[in-house]
Amino acid sequence: MKQYTPMIQQYLKIKAEYEDAFLFFRLGDFYELFFEDAIKASQELEITLTARDGGVDEKIPMAGVPYHSAQGYIETLVSRGYKVAIAEQMENPKQAKGMVHREVVQLITPGTMMEGKSISDKANNYISSITAFPDDTFGLAFCDLSTGESKVTLLTEGWDDCINELATIQTKEIVVDGQFHPEKIKQLKERLSVTISYEKETEISHEFEKIIAPLSQDKLVITAARLFNYLYRTQKRSLDHIQPIETYQVHQFMKMDYYSKRNLELTETIRSKDKKGSLLWLLDETKTAMGGRLLKQWIDRPLLSLDKINNRLHIVEKFKENYFERQELRDKLTQVYDIERLAGKVAFGNVNARDLVNLKTTLYQIPELKEILFNINDKKVQHLAESLDPCTEIAELIEHSIVDHPPITIKEGNIIRDGYNEQLDMYRDASRNGKTWIAALEKAEREKTGIKSLKIGYNRVFGYYIEVTKANLHLLPDDSNYERKQTLTNAERFITPELKEKESIILEAEEKSVDLEYELFIEIRNQVKEYIPRLQALAKQVSEIDCLQCFAEISENRQYVKPIFNNDGKVSIKEGRHPVVEKVMDVQTYVPNDCDMNNETEILLITGPNMSGKSTYMRQIALTAILAQIGCFVPAEYAELPIFDQIFTRIGAADDLISGQSTFMVEMLEARNAIRGATENSLILFDEIGRGTSTYDGMALAQAMIEYIHDKIGAKTLFSTHYHELTVLEKSLSKLKNVHVSAVEKNGQVVFLHKIKEGPTDKSYGIHVAKLADMPPELINRAEQILQEFEKNGHHNKQDSESQVKAEETVTVPIESEQTIVIEEHEEQGAEIAQLSLFDEPEMNKQPSSSPKEQKVISELKNLNLLEMTPLDAMNALYQLQKKVK
C-alpha cells in the first residue's frame, strides 16, 4: 500500500469496502476505474483501456468515462447484473488541503435502479431479502425502490415455495446473510439469474421504524429489517417514500407455481420470453405506467375472495355499459404521468423541474376524472370517484413556482417563475437591465468609432469584452480607454473601465440568481415531499381505475362475457375461446369449444391427433379461470365456474439444461407439484404425461396418476394423451369422461376440425402430420408400410383391443401414497400392449407356448415380490421378462 501514490491508496481503501462492485472514482470531469475494474469495464463497455503511473514499477490499468455521460455506462453494467459504487469528490479541489476527500455516495445495483432504459415503465423493479429460519420456514421481503411499494411474507412450505415466489415477482437482486446455504445461493443464481448481495444487520434502525411498524411477528421484522438496512446502507439518502410494509400470505390468492405460469404464458412467452403473445400482452390496454404494473400483479395473483372478484366484475360491467364515459376516462388517463415513481424521485432527491411540471399536469386531470366517474350512475363507481384526492395544494404550488417549460438541469437557472420570490426578481431585473445597457453600449461604440462590425461578447473565461477585427484597429482613436484583453488570429478583444463595472453587477446578479433558484427549487421539492403519502394513495386509486377500464375495453372489443361463480364445483363454458390465440388468428376462423364438468365428471381424458388443438383447449380453460378470478370478463358465450384455489400444469416438453434435468424429469417434477399440492378445488392440466420415457413406464405412470387424482384428490383435471389404451378407464373410473378433438380425412389429407366431441378418438393421424411438416416422401411411404404391417398383425386394431379389454385380468400393485397401477394380461395377444419394435420381424414374435425359456420366465415371475417393488421397478421387470420370452 505504501508503494502506491496517495491517490491510488485512497482508491484501494475505498475499493476494499466495495469489492463486488465497479468503483467509479471521480477525478475532475471523469470517473476513472483502475486495476481489474478497468480491464473488465473496458470489455463490458467497449471503452479504451490505458495505464498510468501509480508509484510502482508497473503501470496500473486504467479506463474512464466522462462524468456528464456516465449514466448510460452505469445502466449498461447494472443491466448485466453488476453493481456500481459511485465515489464523488466531497470538496472543491481548489480549496482542498492535500488529497481531495472522496467517498461513495451511492451503490447502484440491479435491484436499486431508480430510472433508465433498463427500468420498464409497466414492470416493477424488485429487490428482495430472504431469511432462513431453523424450522425450515423462510421470510421473504421485497421492495420496489422506484415506487416505494414493499411487502413481506412467511413461507412455510419449504424452499421450492420460496423459489416460486421469487420467480413470481421477478426480483432482480436478493439480499441474504453471510451464513446462507451456498447450495441455495447457487440455485438462486442459476434458476433466477439474480444478483446476490449480503447484509447481516437485522436491528431496527430509527430511519425505518415507521416502515416496519405494521409488523408484529419477529420473523417478519427480521426479514424486513435486513432488506431496509441494506437499502439504507447502500443508498445513503432518504427513504421517506417507502410505504409502510404490507404483509400477505400466498394462500390469499390463487396459487400457481413457476412451471404453471410459464406453461400458460401469463406474462411472457415460453419460446421468446417476450411480452408479446402472453396474456399480459392481450390484456394491457392500460393508459398509465402505474396501471400496467398493477395489471401484471393482478395476473400473477388472481383472487380467491368472491366478494372482491364480484366487486371488480361489477365495476367492469358498468364501465362496459357506459361507452362514452369510458372513452373520456381513457383520454384523461393518457395525460396522467407515473405518480408513484415521481414521488420516489422527490424523496430520493433526483427529481427535476420537468418532473414537477408533469406531476402538476397529472394532478390537474384528477378533478376531471372524478367528474367522469360521478356521471356513471352507480354507487361503487362513484365511491371510486370519492376516493380520488386531487392534492390541490401541490398543483397550485408548482403552478405558481415553476415555469411551464423548464430545463432538465436544476443548477443553471430559468426554473422559477417571475413574481414567486422578490429577491430573485431583483437579481433578474439587474441582470436584464445590465444586458440592455450592454446592447446600448455596443451601439454607442459603433457610432463613436465608425466600426460597424464592432461587437460586445461574453465567455466564461474572460467575461464581457469589445471585439474589433484587425482590419479595423486603425479606426480606434488614440485617446480611447480600450484596454487590450485578448488577441485572436483575426481580431483583438478589449475591456473598458465602464464595461468592467457593469460586468461585475451583471455577473453577480446572474450568479446569485442561479444559486437562489436552486435553493428555491430544493424548498419546493421539500414541500412536495410532505405530500408523498397522499400522492401514493392517489396512485393506487388511479392504477385500479386504469386496470378496470382496461378490462371493460377488452371485454367489449373482444366480446367477452361476465362469468358466474358457484360453490358446487361446476364448470360450464359455452363456446369458449383461447383469448391470445383468438387475437393472433382471424376471429372469424377460430373454433370455439364447450367444457362441462361437475362433481360427477371431474376428469376429461382428451385424445386426438397432433396439431388438433388439445393443448390449446386445455390452456383456454385455465386462462378463462384466471381471467374470471382477476375480475375480467371471459372469452365465451357463457361461463359458470367454481373458484379454483390452485392451477397446476404439465404442458409442453423441454429439457431444463441449466438444472441438468431431462424432459422426463421436468415432466415428473411438474406432475409431482400437482399430485402433492392439489386439492378438490384445484384445476390440473396434464398434457401427454409419460411421453418422455418408454411406452411401458409412460402408460403405467399416466394411468396411476389418473387413478390417484380420481380416487384421492378429486380435482378438476384435463388429461390429454396419445395412449389410446387409457380410454378404457372410463369404464372403471366413474368420474372420468372421454372426449376427443375431431379430425376428418379427405382425399388422403387430414383436416383438423378443432372441435371437442364426446368419446375417444379412433386414429392419431401422426403420418399426416409428418406430411404437413414436409417430411421426405420416401420416409412417409415407409412409415405407411410399417403402419400397415402393424394393423395387419393387430397391434392397433380397434376390434382386437376391445376384445382384449373384455378378457383382461387386472393386477393391482401397491405403490407410494396408496396409488395403484393396472397391468393388463390378454388371453389372445399376451402383452401386446407393449410397443412393437420397428426392427422385429413378425415371425420373431411367434414363440412356442411351452418352451423351456417360457417356463423359466414363468418361474421368475412367480418369485417376484411385487409388494416390495416400485411401479417403475415392476414395469421394468415385466419388460425384461417379456424380452426373454421373445
**Residues 497, 488: Cα–Cα separation, whole Å:** 21
In order of 200, 295, 578, the CA distances from 273 in angstroms are 35, 18, 20
**Residues 270, 261: Cα–Cα separation, whole Å:** 10
Grid cell for residue 762:
379412433
148 φ/ψ angles, rounded to the nearest 5 degrees: 85, 0
610 is in an annotated binding site: yes
For the stretch 208-218, what's the b/e string if a residue is b when 16 or more beta carbons lie within 10 angstroms of its beta carbon?
beebbeebeee
609 is in an annotated binding site: yes
In order of 279, 589, 592, 628, 632, the CA distances from 582 in angstroms are 11, 9, 9, 17, 17
Q: Of 343, 350, 342, which is closest to residue 240 (Cα–Cα)?
A: 343
**Residues 711, 345: Cα–Cα separation, whole Å:** 57
286: Cβ–Cβ under 8 A, 6 or more apart, which residues? 122, 292, 294, 295, 546, 547, 550
**Residues 270, 262: Cα–Cα separation, whole Å:** 6
For the stretch 820-833, what's the b/e string if a residue is b when 16 or more beta carbons lie within 10 angstroms of its beta carbon?
bbbbbebeebbbbb
- Whether the CB-CB separation of 614 and 755 falls below 8 Å is answered with no
**Residues 560, 632: Cα–Cα separation, whole Å:** 9
142 φ/ψ angles, rounded to the nearest 5 degrees: -145, 155
608 is in an annotated binding site: yes
**Residues 362, 368: Cα–Cα separation, whole Å:** 11
The DSSP line for 477-515 is -TT---EEEEE-SSEEEEE-HHHHHHHHHHHHHHHHHHH
614 is in an annotated binding site: yes
**Strands laid side by side in the 638-641 sheet:** 564-565, 638-641, 571-576, 593-597
367 is in an annotated binding site: no
Contacts 24+ apart (CB under 8 A), 441-448: 441/498, 441/499, 441/502, 442/466
Q: Of 376, 235, 389, which is closest to residue 314 (Cα–Cα)?
A: 376
**Residues 229, 241: Cα–Cα separation, whole Å:** 15
**N- to C-terminal Cα distance for the chain?**
79
In order of 351, 436, 444, 479, 511, the CA distances from 502 in angstroms are 36, 11, 15, 22, 14
Sole residue written with cell 421485497 = 142
Q: Which helix (H) or strand (E) holds 297?
A: helix 289-300
Q: Of 240, 234, 238, 241, which is closest to residue 112 (Cα–Cα)?
A: 234
Grid cell for residue 264:
400458460
Helix (H, G, I), strand (E, B) or coil at 257: coil
**Residues 293, 124: Cα–Cα separation, whole Å:** 6
- Whether the CB-CB separation of 723 and 584 falls below 8 Å is answered with no
In order of 180, 212, 243, 330, 811, the CA distances from 139 in angstroms are 13, 14, 19, 40, 47
290: Cβ–Cβ under 8 A, 6 or more apart, which residues? 336, 338, 339, 340, 539, 542, 543, 546
Grid cell for residue 800:
382386437
**Residues 143, 231: Cα–Cα separation, whole Å:** 10
Residues flagged as binding site for ATP: 608-615
Q: From the annotation, which residues make up the binding site?
A: 608-615
